[in-house]
Amino acid sequence: MDTGDKVWEVFVQKKGGQPFKHAGSCHGYDKKMAIQNARDLYTRRGEGRALWVVPADAIVSVPFDEEDAYFDPGDDKVYRHATFYKIPDGVNYL
Amino acid sequence: MKISIEKSEARFLLRLADTSTILGQRLAEMCSRGPILEEDIALSNISLDLFGRAEELYKLICTIENASYSPDDLVFRRNEREYFNLKLVEQPNDDFAWVIARQFMHDIYAKAVFSQLVNSKNSELAGLAAKVLKEIKYSYIHSKDWMERLGLGTEESNTRLQRAVDHLMKYVEEIFMFDAVDQENLADCALIHTTWENDFNQTLAACNLVRKPVMPLTMRDYRDGFHSEHLGTMLSVMQYLPRAYPDAKW
């Protein structure tokens, strides 16, 4: 059995077929405790029918202090959006 | 207030309802005292399930007895000797191991009882039992899981859980001393006992715990309103507000 407290990220699916959404985090010593704790913290009021827990350290995120380098260059390049095309008549779904 | 409950079915349901109320109250006492935040909330959730279950059972009792009293009267205006909960569930929260052992012993019992009530001739009771059974199954998963964690955890956790089991075993025997009221309202009392014994013994063995023989006791039956020393003080806290301020509204 795993020992040591860990943080887990919790994802809840409202109904079958819908995406899992991040709901928050919880503590747990192992998978079993984590999923039970997540159930008690995040699905008490009918929030969902399915649950994922993922060890928080398994999630890779952009370092906070490199936020500018990662995301700012995308801010002023409107031409990267496909909004400069003329949509031909008769195309209903684009 | 004189509350009389005559019919066999109502008397039987009162035992289940009182057991739910008192265990719910014990778990409510754990609110803000759980070992970790998540477990604190888990215990509160189970407590709320128990109160909800008790309220529905009290409503059924009021209907069966065509009563002038309400579920609130049943909870707040009866004395110790008019309560019919298992002595097991009034035992205090000495430490977390006690909470878990008590819960597990209750859950295997409640699971066996409500599994039979699902087939009750009283359709309202059968419907309630089906709903309740889902709650109990989760509570059972939770308490059994902690039995394993504590039993197989450290020497300290095993010792504490063993101590809790040793104490609580005293209050197990009476659960299965079924009387006529139980026999009339349960399809198979003997099955409840054997199911309990099997599950309990298997779990103890799997969790590195031992079942010690219990000395013969002179305690009298909870079915006649007899209790351990703990229920009176519990009720005095639980009932203080409505007793002191009978017209209080919230």
Residue B166 has pLDDT above 90, yes or no: yes
Residue B2 lies in a domain: no
Which of A3, A36, A44 has the most B C-beta neighbours within 10 Å, making it the best mutation to test the interface with B?
A36
DSSP per-residue codes, B13-59: HHHHHHHHHHHHHHHHTTTT-SSSHHHHHHHHHHHHHHHHHHHHHHH
pLDDT at B189 (0 to 100): 98
Share of chain B above pLDDT 90, in %: 94
Indicate the pLDDT class of residue A94, thresholds 50, 70 and 90. Answer: low
pLDDT at A28 (0 to 100): 95
Residue A82 lies in a domain: no
Tell the residue number behind the tokens 């906070």, with chain if given.
Answer: A64
Residue A30 lies in a domain: yes
CA distance A50 to A48: 6
Cross-chain residue pair A40–B38, CB shorter than 8 Å: yes
Residue B134 lies in a domain: yes
Average of pLDDT values for B127-137? Answer: 97
A13 touching chain B per CB within 8 A: no
Buried b (16+ CB within 10 A) or exposed e, B127-155: ebbeebbebbebbbebbbebbebbbebee
A55 lies in which domain range? 6-61
Question: Which residues of B are less than 8 Å from A27 in CB distance?
Answer: 36-38
Hey, what are A12's tokens?
């809840």
CA distance B198 to B194: 6
B181 lies in which domain range? 8-244
Tell the residue number behind the tokens 């699916």, with chain if given.
Answer: A13
How far CA B28 is from CA of A42, B21, B46, B134, B229, in Å, comes to 20, 10, 9, 21, 19
Which of A40, A41, A44 has the most B C-beta neighbours within 10 Å, making it the best mutation to test the interface with B?
A40
User: Are the beta carbons of B163 and B97 closer than 8 angstroms?
Assistant: yes
pLDDT tens readout for residues B74-131: 999 999 999 999 999 999 999 999 999 999 999 999 999 999 999 999 999 999 999 9
**CATH for A44:** 3.10.20.520
Instruction: Specify the DSSP class assigned to residue B212.
Output: P
Overall domain count for chain B:
1
Which stretches within chain B are classed as H helix? 8-28, 37-64, 71-76, 87-90, 96-117, 123-151, 155-168, 180-185, 189-206, 230-238, 240-244
Residue B239 lies in a domain: yes
Residue A21 lies in a domain: yes
Residue A8 in 3-state DSSP? strand
Cross-chain residue pair A40–B141, CB shorter than 8 Å: no
pLDDT tens readout for residues B186-212: 999 999 999 999 999 999 999 999 999
Residue A2 has pLDDT above 80, yes or no: no
Cross-chain residue pair A27–B142, CB shorter than 8 Å: no
Question: Which residues of A are less than 8 Å from B152 in CB distance?
Answer: 1
Q: Indicate the residue type of A55.
A: P
Q: Is residue B80 exposed (0-12), middle (13-18) or buried (19+ Cβ within 10 Å)?
A: middle
DSSP per-residue codes, A9-60: EEEEESSTTSPPEEEEEEEESSHHHHHHHHHHHHSTTS--SEEEEEEGGG--
- For residue B230, the tally of other CB atoms under 10 A from its CB is 15
Question: Which residues of A are less than 8 Å from B149 in CB distance?
Answer: 1, 29, 33
CA distance B36 to B44: 12
pTM across the whole model: 0.89
Phi (first) and psi of residue B33, to 5 degrees: -120, 10
B102: closest CA among B58, B69, B147?
B147
Buried b (16+ CB within 10 A) or exposed e, A42-71: bbeeeebeebebeeeeeeeeeeeeeeeeee
Indicate the pLDDT class of residue A76, thresholds 50, 70 and 90. Answer: confident
* Mean pLDDT over the full length of chain B: 96
CA distance B142 to chain A (A): 8
| CB-closest option in A32, A33, A41 to B41 | A41
pLDDT tens readout for residues A26-42: 999 999 999 999 999 99
| CB-closest option in B36, B37, B142 to A36 | B142
Indicate the pLDDT class of residue A1, thresholds 50, 70 and 90. Answer: very low
**CATH for B62:** 1.20.1260.10
Overall domain count for chain A:
1
